Structure 1
Amino acid sequence: MFYEPGKTAHGLPHDPFKFNNLTFDPPYVMFSANQTPSGRRKDTVANAEATGRFAWNLATWDLRDAVNASAEQVPADVDEFERARLEKDFTTVLKEPRVPMVRRSPVKFECEYHSTLRLPGNPPMGTVDVVIGKVVAVHIADEVLTDGILDVSKTQPIARCGYYQYAVIKETFDMIIPSSDQWGEDILSGLEGSSSKNKAIGKREKTESGEREGEV
């Protein structure tokens, strides 16, 4: 499935990008990269800032070897897709230039560069760049959706834990914050990541605020 947040409807009962983001209406994501052993900024950071765009690809168990290969420090002119034996798809909304995406990744975001938060550290590698991007297009393989929700048991994402250790997620469990009033229900809408409910809450709050001002 494919849609553009804020422009086109995804047709699902839940917003599918809530599983991994900074905020949801509109959706933003981030990545971070420390400097190289020679004290240079990573090529990914430089490319995002220079082009104003980047692609986010879900790292999965099936892609673990390619993820590891792509982390090797190589010259900027080396095609890391070829080096990691990955086929490319290209962004459809972001054009001129189009950005390569990992074809085998079940979830891909097209992102417009927003900003970089640069946290200073001790040389040569201590300084880190936190790059934030706005998601303008979402690509999700239909086979990893269950009842309108991205099914983690199907994507099996991996996460770096520290040292040389990684984890793979194969099962999840739900916990819903107890709620007994409208405020609590509104909080749940935020945790659900529903942009439509967020807009409805904003409209309601604006109306109620106007009514309160009229009573003064």
Structure 2
Amino acid sequence: MFYDARKNDHGFQYDPFKAIVAPRPIGWISSVSAQGRVNLAPYSYFNAFAQAPHYVAFGSGPRKDSMRNIEETGAFAVNLATWELREQMNATSAHVEADEFELAKLTKAPCRLIAPPRVAESPACLECRLHLIVPLPDDDGNADDFLVIGRVLGIHIDDRFIHDGRVDTAAMKPIARLGYSEYATVSEVWRMRRPD
């Protein structure tokens, strides 16, 4: 099968794009507004894009509370979404006018270099400073989707998941988004060395 992605004429009930670009890490973004209102929301269009220095980015469409907060304050935290926190992560995806930390019964922990809090229960967190927001226009030049790029300033790792000088990713059981309402869990890893 082939279909024109510009027309999105695949004929399925749901767009298969997300099922193909998978698994996608979940950027569980915590932010705070200029007025001090905290927000926590998961974004499945998320990934890391550079290692020295570290940059991460997430896609927001349309402009949501997280993005508005980040525009106002210039900072956000990315909390690792895990198997143990899957229900809480899902609860924070609701469109509500409430403190998502309280809604999901999560603990706010202070970050060291930025104002937004992090999820204390999460085994890892990236403290980020806003680098750039890039509009992603449609064929008519209208942008209702945006790429939010952040420079990682600080990293928190729960010591329980550090073994022999390495982070034990599988032990943290991070979750990732697939297509539709499907997720995946990292529970086993394998190694393969580059040939050079």
TM-score (norm 2): 0.71
- The residue that corresponds to 1:61 in the other structure is 83
| Selected match of 1:112 from 119, 126, 129 | 129
- Runs of at least 5 residues in structure 1 that lack an aligned partner in the other structure: 1-19, 36-40, 180-216
Measure, in 1, the Cα distance between the counterparts of 2:160 and 2:113. 23
CA shift digits 1:135-189 (9 cap, x unpaired): 111110111112222111211000010110010010111111111xxxxxxxxxx
Task: Pick one of 137, 162, 167 that aligns with 1:145.
Answer: 162
Displacement of 1:54 after TM fit?
A: 0.3
Report the 3-state secondary structure (helix = DSSP H, G, I; strand = E; otherwise coil) of the residue aligned with 2:171.
helix
Q: 1:52 aligns with which of 69, 74, 94?
A: 74
Match of 2:61 in 1: 34
- SS of the aligned residue for 1:132 comes to strand
Counterpart of 1:120, as a letter, is P
The CA distance in 2 between the partners of 1:30 and 1:81, in whole Å, is: 22
Partner of 1:201: none
- Whichever residue aligns with residue 63 of structure 1, its letter is L
Identity rate, percent? 41
State the alpha-carbon separation in 1 of the partners of residues 146 and 120 from structure 2. Answer: 26
In structure 2, the partner of 1:90 is 110
Structure with the larger helix share: 1
Q: Which has the higher strand share?
A: 2
| Long gaps (5+) in structure 2 | 1-46
1:81 alignment partner in structure 2? 101
TM-superposed deviation, 1:28:
0.9
Q: Which amino acid aligns with 2:171?
A: K
Superposition deviation, residue 62 in structure 1:
0.5
Distance 1:33 1:92 in 2: 25
Secondary structure of 1:82's aligned partner: helix
Q: 2: CA distance between counterparts of 1:85 and 1:79?
A: 10
**Partner of residue 130, structure 1:** 147
Choose 1 or 2 for highest CA Rg. Answer: 1
In 2: Cα distance, 1:127 partner to 1:161 partner: 23
Per the alignment, residue 100 of structure 1 pairs with: 117
Return the alpha-carbon distance in structure 1 between the equivalents of residues 69 and 184 of structure 2: 28
Which 4+ residue blocks in structure 1 deviate beyond 2 angstroms? none
Using structure 1 for the length normalisation, give the TM-score. Answer: 0.65
Deviation at 1:61, TM superposition (A): 0.4
Supply the distance in 1 between the matched residues of 2:131 and 2:110 (Cα, whole angstroms): 20
Give the deviation of 1:127 after TM superposition: 3.0
